[in-house]
Amino acid sequence: MRYMLLHKTNDNLEAGNPPDPAMLERADAVLEEMRQAGVLELGEGLMPSSSGARITFPAPGQPRVVDGPFAETKELVAGVSIIRVDSKEEAVQWALRFAEADPHTPIDILEIAG
């Protein structure tokens, strides 16, 4: 099974500031653990929403493209990891390793369809 770990952003990252170097070092260590264990398929950080866009549908069939930044940061993603593991429980255990690196940032764990 493959799971996507969505690492949420915060106001500091959304402002374009670099992550805390110590936290980044701890997160990189977790990614390296994942590589060594053979479960990591992808691990990437994302730019702030100011460099992105969002498509909304104010009326059915009428897409609207809105350039970032987006005001609400609690639902935005700062990074993504894709892992291949045997169970959701194992995915949770790997996500908890990231939580040790940055205990203030929520992580969503979603199974990838297919």
Q: What distance in Å separates the CA atoms of residue 114 and residue 35, rounded to the nearest whole number?
A: 22
Task: Using CB atoms within 10 Å of the CB of residue 77, give its burial: 0 to 12 exposed, 13 to 18 middle, 19+ buried.
Answer: middle
Residue range 80-104, pLDDT digits in tens: 999 999 999 999 999 999 989 888 8
Determine the pLDDT at residue 38: 98
pTM for this structure?
0.88
CATH superfamily of 2-47+74-111: Dimeric alpha+beta barrel (3.30.70.1060)
Domain range annotation of the chain: 2-47+74-111
